[in-house]
Chain A
Amino acid sequence: MLRSLWYSSRVRGWAVQIALLGGLLALLWWIAGNTLQNLAERGIRTGFDYLWRPARFPISESVVSYTPADDFFWAYVVGVTNTLWLSAITIVAATLLGLFVGLSRRSDNPLLSGLARIYVTVMRNVPLIVQLLFWYGIATSSFPAPREALNPLPGVFLSLRGVYAPGLIVAPGGGLLLGLGVLVVLLAIAVVLRWPRPPLGRPGWAAICAGGAVLTLWGMSRALGHPLALSFPEMAGLNFRGGTQLSPEFAAIIFGLTLYTAAFVGEIIRGGIEAVGKGQWEGGRALGLTERQIMFRVILPQALRVIVPPMTSQYLSTVKNTTLAVAVGYPELGLVVNTVINQTGQAIESILVMLGVFLTISLSVSLFMNWYNARVALVTR
């Protein structure tokens, strides 16, 4: 009887699980005891009351408005929006650059594919934080003073104080117009994609849509008194005036993170292209399509299925990589959390906030990408 109990896998399973549960509870009990003792000894307050107290620390730049008189909760919100802002710009820019890099690596052109190969190898084998510090070092020590700012493109100036670029001035009513413009463009794209045979063919129809949209928006803009305007940076005294100013921190992070991420995106896209069967290329050639037509009309749409899952994890790690902005002092969530911990000593609550935010972002991005993946996945009939 005992012997059969000893050798029963079911009994063993239960025994192992009970032991695991006991060990886990004992560990949690021990940690909780230690924590309470430590908190009491150091006189640290607990609970989330501090969220509503004024933060009293400055945040150097933010997407939403912030003053030190705002409460800690708002400081967290500022951190989260800065993180999301960084991530959004990086993801869009790196996807576009990565597509170019991925296609270049597959290109027949030896000059192009060689350059792309060197670029990817260097980017992937040097830690991101080294790259960020490198760009930040260049932006803060090797750039000239504003008076002698470098001017690589018309309207773009690089100087020690930051990067100046043309900016959009939005007067009252401008937001509405901008939103409307985006809506019209999306609608036009949807129509072009959905309508199998529009008059004058797809390019012709796209041109008609674009012309119509521009005319309508211009008319509306005129009716509203031109609420949108471009402003160019101009030298005024010792510094620039007008345009958009990017701080050296922000410029260094966006530049470094985009270059780094694009290398990984490029490799994912190349992998997706290579996963499409050789027969697809041969089929395309047999039909008399040019190589470029095959790539954009036959291969890439199929490669998308292979590309989506690794791209999801790449986007997620990009969001997590923005926390490295701490190293150059851009106030994203990690830096805000660190400052809050220094100010209040409430480490547990602050880290829980950070955990909560990142888990929420991870989960929502995965949910969205799963939905998208289900849409592009192969439907087997």
Chain B
Amino acid sequence: MTDRAAPTPSAPTPSDPRLPPRTRRRPLIKLLFGDLVSAALTVLAALAIVMLLPALNWALLDAHWHVAAPGDCRHGGACWAFVAAKSRLILFGLYPPSEQWRAMIVIALIVAMILASLSPRLRGGRLIAIWGGAIVAMLVLMGGGVLGLPPVPTSKWGGLPVTLLLAVLSLGLAFPLAVLLALGRRGRLPLARAISVTIIELVRGLPLVGLLFVAAILLPLLLPPDWTVDKLGRTLAALTIFAAAYLAEVLRGGLQGLDGGQQEAAEALGIPYWKTVWHIILPQAIQNVIPPLTNTAIVMVKNTSLVLIVGVFDMLSAARSAATDPAWPAPSTEAYLFVALIYFVICFGISVYSAHLETGVKSRRHG
């Protein structure tokens, strides 16, 4: 859950004039069977592939894509008909079926916003303002109660929109917190440093499951009795503080990599502290840490699945409850594979984009 994983670095292209000429490729047969150890490894790898063939057979050739009755899935391969039948439950949870178009719009909106943010033309304050507006629109759309939309309580929210909203909101709310924590830890004020270090190290020392317990069980005890924060809100709080601690450490890395002269020059010019931070320090610090930042984003998308443990009905919980339907014969494998595929598409997409960004930064520096 907190694993660091550098996105795959891009290999330099062979035609790059700065590199020495490539040595001639060795023939494939030599690479595969060059000596005894290579041959043994090749045989081992081939064996592994052969052993995976039945799984492929199960997933594609023997699979049931359409069945007349759930019982028809009892024999043979994978039961993709189950996923088709339950896709609404997995994707939208208990959201009222007549209102599911709203959840669908929210998903489309999030995807569109993320795609729009990829373009480097839209950066800085304007992007943040647009995101803020979009988030409010999504929450209104999900919750309803205004503009003639029937209200839907958060206990009925579920599936993919909850997963995406938790990921986007926790990262978005955590970022300003992380900036404060990182600046506090790097700053000159001893008290601010002590507070930042305590928060960061405490949160990073505790597993996210523990934090979710704190949010689900402890938070109602710490707040006034008449404040009622629903489960989704408390979970979001736990995810936010968790993301903030990890983002703060990433940002601290960026701040440490920054030349001290930048801040001194800003001070010499009489630029106020917060303007220095916003216009000079942060843009450069963030650019230094784009790979670990996107990495944290991937980790947080994956971490949203942990809310299952405290009973929030996200995509994974929905899949788990769909798999318990007694009408279908043991379809948990297919349900989890479907969820895994959705997570894979999101996370792999982010890592590919991160690799692309990284080469952009590199070429600008060299060019």
Contact = CB atoms under 8 A, between A and B. Distances in A.
Interface stretch (A36-44, A167-175, A181-189): A36-44
Interface stretch (B40-48, B229-237, B278-286): B40-48
Contact of A134 (B46, B195, B340): B340
Interface in A97-116: 104, 107-112, 115
B217 A108 contact: no
A35 B333 contact: no
Interface stretch (A193-201, A229-237, A322-330): A322-330
A179 B50 CA distance: 41
Contact of B205 (A107, A348, A359): A359
Interface in A291-331: 292, 310, 313-314, 317, 320-321, 323-324, 326-327
Given A326-B309, A334-B209, A321 B221 contact: no
A109 B41 contact: yes
B305 A137 contact: no
Given A35-B222, A107-B41, A127 B303 contact: yes
B64 interface: no
B225 A38 contact: yes
Interface in A335-381: 337-338, 341, 347-348, 351, 354-355, 358-359, 362-363
B333 A109 contact: no
A141 B332 contact: yes
A38 B221 contact: yes
Contact of A351 (B41, B189, B217, B337): B217
A138 interface: yes
A334 to B, nearest CB: 5
B76 to A, nearest CB: 13
A157 interface: no
A110 B191 CA distance: 55
Contacts of A347: 217-218, 221
Contact of B49 (A115, A310, A348): A115
Interface in B311-367: 316, 320, 323, 330, 332-333, 336-337, 339-340, 343-344, 347-348, 351
B3 A131 contact: no
A31 interface: yes
B210 A358 contact: yes
Interface string A67-86: 00000000000000000000
A347 to B, nearest CB: 5
Contacts of B298: 124-125
Contacts of B305: 127, 129-130
Contacts of B4: 264, 310, 313-314
B343 A126 contact: yes
A368 B206 CA distance: 19
Nearest to A14: B189
Contact of B220 (A38, A115, A129): A38
A359 B198 CA distance: 12
A130 B189 contact: no
Contacts of A209: none
Contact of B189 (A17, A108, A264): A17
15 contacts: A16-B192, A38-B220, A111-B32, A111-B45, A125-B298, A125-B343, A126-B340, A128-B302, A130-B305, A137-B333, A264-B5, A323-B207, A324-B1, A351-B213, A354-B206
Interface of A: 13, 16-17, 20-21, 24, 31, 34-35, 37-39, 41, 104, 107-112, 115, 121-122, 124-131, 133-134, 137-138, 141-142, 264, 267, 271, 292, 310, 313-314, 317, 320-321, 323-324, 326-327, 334, 337-338, 341, 347-348, 351, 354-355, 358-359, 362-363
